[in-house]
Amino acid sequence: MSALALIFFIVYATVRALQNQPSEVPGTHYISPLYSPYLPHLFHTFGISLPGLEKVLPNGSLGWALSPALFIMWVPAGFRATCYFYRRVYYRAFFTAPVACAVDAKPKSPLIALLGEGQKYWGEKVFPMVLMNLHRYFFYMAALFIFLHVIDLLTCFFLPDYSGLRIGVGSFVILADVVLLSLYAFSCHSWRHLLGGQVDCFSSCPLNEARGHAWERQSLLNTKHGLFGWISLFWVIIADIYMTLASQGVIKDFVFYSNTWKGIFG
């Protein structure tokens, strides 16, 4: 089941990225999480022009000739692929290695066979498994992406011209996406290590004491890291489907509240 779930997500995300359809919902700031942060808007905000790459999409919005999702998906893909939880899942699901703690010296799977005939499995100390140690750096980039997702989330609660508030179902779909992605990212082992993994004594000074409290609380999240990983993975798909259907007019985004600043404070 784990292998099928991962294959489904990889195929789905790849197809959606190649479509170059960010699923922007008219009259809102909604955009598919697979395209967030939306680089054409981000570059335009900072006055960065890319002649030859920019184009107007069929819905009239700014886009690129190449799907901008292709330029950002390597970050979440790399973060999940090098994640301790997902490594365990696909090592066992795809390579049957290591199937448990005990590992035979003889290669019995494509993964171990990559090391060479007759070589022992030495964990992730040799190529290509040594690349898994990039996980901490993917975490730094994922944390930056979470920050950009939060900015996208905040804009979802405003009217298109920022003249007031607009709160719809899509606002909460994106809110759930950001919360789940944040829980997954910040329940990560790399974040836990940064908080307190290098501290020998938490009571040695006030700063270490604060780090100790943060480390203990993050450790509670860390026990649910795998659960957050699966839920956040499938919520991305749910959010993308919602934004796609809403952008095409198949479904209508129900609005709970909409008013201008004048109407709110007048």
Average pLDDT over residues 81-86: 84
HEC string of 195-248? HHCCCCCCCCCHHHHHHHHHHHHHHHHHCCHHHHHHHHHHHHHHHHHHHHHHHC
What integer pLDDT is reported at residue 122 of this predicted model? 60
Give the dihedral sign, CA 29/34/40/43: positive
Q: Cα dist. 21→8, 155, 181, 205 in Å?
A: 19, 20, 22, 52
Question: Residue 251 — very low, low, confident or very high, per pLDDT cuts 50/70/90?
Answer: very high
Average pLDDT over residues 138-143: 92
Q: How far apart are the first and last CA of the chain?
A: 56
Question: Residue 182 — very low, low, confident or very high, per pLDDT cuts 50/70/90?
Answer: very high
- Top pLDDT among 202 and 224 is at 224
Q: Is the pLDDT of residue 125 over 90?
A: no
Q: Is the pLDDT of residue 127 over 70?
A: no
Question: Residue 140 — very low, low, confident or very high, per pLDDT cuts 50/70/90?
Answer: very high
Which residue has tokens 């699966």?
A: 230
Name the nearest CA neighbour of 243 among 76, 36, 7.
Answer: 36
Q: Give percent of the chain above pLDDT 90.
A: 44
Which residue has tokens 């979470």?
A: 146
pTM of the model: 0.84
Q: Is the pLDDT of residue 73 over 80?
A: yes
Bridge partners for 158 per DSSP: 165
Neighbouring C-alpha atoms within 13 Å toward the C-beta of 104 = 12
Bridge partners for 134 per DSSP: none
Burial 114-153 (b: 16+ CB within 10 A, else e): ebeeeeebeeeeeeebeeeeebeebbeebbebeeebeebb
Name the nearest CA neighbour of 172 among 247, 234, 254, 248.
Answer: 254
Average pLDDT over residues 68-94: 85
166 phi and psi angles, rounded to 5 deg: -145, 115
Q: Is the pLDDT of residue 85 over 90?
A: no
Name the nearest CA neighbour of 202 among 212, 215, 187.
Answer: 212
Q: Per mean pLDDT, which of 1-5, 54-58, 73-77 is the most reliable?
A: 73-77
Q: Is the pLDDT of residue 236 over 60?
A: yes
Average pLDDT over residues 113-136: 65
